[in-house]
Amino acid sequence: MTELDIKSLPALSDYGFTGGRDNFRVFCRKVFAAPEPRFLRTAENNLVVFRNADLIRFGTAPEIGNQPIGRMYPARFKQGASPERPPGWEIGEVISSQIFTFNPPLHGPARRMILNWLGPKQVGQMAELARDVARTVIGRIRDGETVDLVETVAEAVVVGFWSRLLYLTDEEAVVIGRCAQDMTRLFRTNRSQEDLQVLDKAFAEYARLLHLASIRGLERSDPAMLEIAARLKEIDIPDDPYEVGLVPKSVGAVLAGNLVDGFHTAALAAANTLYVLLDTPEALAAVRRAPDTLPRAITEALRLEPPVLALNRYALRDFHFDGLVLPAGNKIMMMWAAGNHDPSAFPEPERFDIGRPQPGLTTFGSGVHICPGRHAGVMLTRVMLEEFFAQEVEIGKAGKPAEWIPDHFMNQLSVFPASISRAERGD
Amino acid sequence: MTDTPRLHVTGRDGSTWQIDAYAAGSLLSILRDAGVDEIAALCGGNCSCATCHVYVETAARLPEPGLEEREMLDTLVHQTPLSRLACQVTVGDGAELLRVRIAPEE
CATH number at residue A169: 1.10.630.10
Q: Residue A178 and residue A182: Cα distance in Å, rounded?
A: 6
The nearest CA of chain A is from the CA of B51 a distance in Å of 10
pLDDT confidence of residue A61: 95
**What chain A residue is nearest to B40 in terms of C-alpha separation?**
A359
The string of pLDDT tens digits covering residues A248-301 is 999 999 999 999 999 999 999 999 999 999 999 999 999 999 999 999 999 999
CATH annotation of B7-102: 3.10.20.30
**What chain A residue is nearest to B69 in terms of C-alpha separation?**
A112
pLDDT confidence of residue B93: 67
Is A248 inside a domain boundary? yes
pLDDT confidence of residue A74: 85
Residue A312 φ then ψ, to 5°: -95, 145
The string of pLDDT tens digits covering residues B17-59 is 988 877 788 999 999 888 888 898 989 898 999 999 999 987 6
User: Could you tell me how far CA A368 lies from the centroid of its own chain?
Assistant: 16
- Tell me the residues of chain B between 61 and 90 that have a Cβ less than 8 Å away from chain A: 68, 71-72, 74-77, 79
What mean pLDDT is predicted for residues B71-96?
89
Which residue numbers in chain A have pLDDT < 50?
Answer: none
Q: Which amino acid would we find at residue A423?
A: A
The nearest CA of chain B is from the CA of A234 a distance in Å of 14
Phi-psi region of A108 (alpha: psi -120 to 50; beta: other; left: phi over 0): alpha
Report which of A373, A378, A310, A360 is spatially closest to residue A118, judged by C-alpha positions. Answer: A373
Query: Cβ contact (<8 Å) for B39 and A359?
Result: yes
Q: Which domain holds residue A346?
A: 2-77+85-422
Q: Residue A23 and residue A160: Cα distance in Å, rounded?
A: 32
Q: In chain A, what is the greatest distance between 2 CA atoms, to the nearest angstrom?
A: 75
Query: Cβ contact (<8 Å) for A120 and B106?
Result: yes
Q: Is B15 on the interface with A (CB under 8 A)?
A: no
Gyration radius from chain B CA atoms:
13
Q: Is A330 on the interface with B (CB under 8 A)?
A: no
Residue-range domain boundaries for chain B: 7-102
DSSP letters for A184-207: GGGGBSS--HHHHHHHHHHHHHHH
Which residues in chain A are closer than 8 Å to B68, comparing Cβ atoms?
Answer: 108, 112
Query: Cβ contact (<8 Å) for A370 and B49?
Result: yes
Of B89 and A82, the structure prediction assigns the larger pLDDT to B89
Query: Cβ contact (<8 Å) for A115 and B75?
Result: yes
Q: Is A368 on the interface with B (CB under 8 A)?
A: yes
pLDDT confidence of residue A308: 97
- Count of domains observed in chain A: 1
Is A355 inside a domain boundary? yes
Best B36, B67, B69, B75 residue to mutate vs chain A (most A CBs within 10 Å): B75
The interface pTM score, or ipTM, of the predicted complex is 0.84
Band the pLDDT of B1: cuts 50, 70, 90. Answer: very low
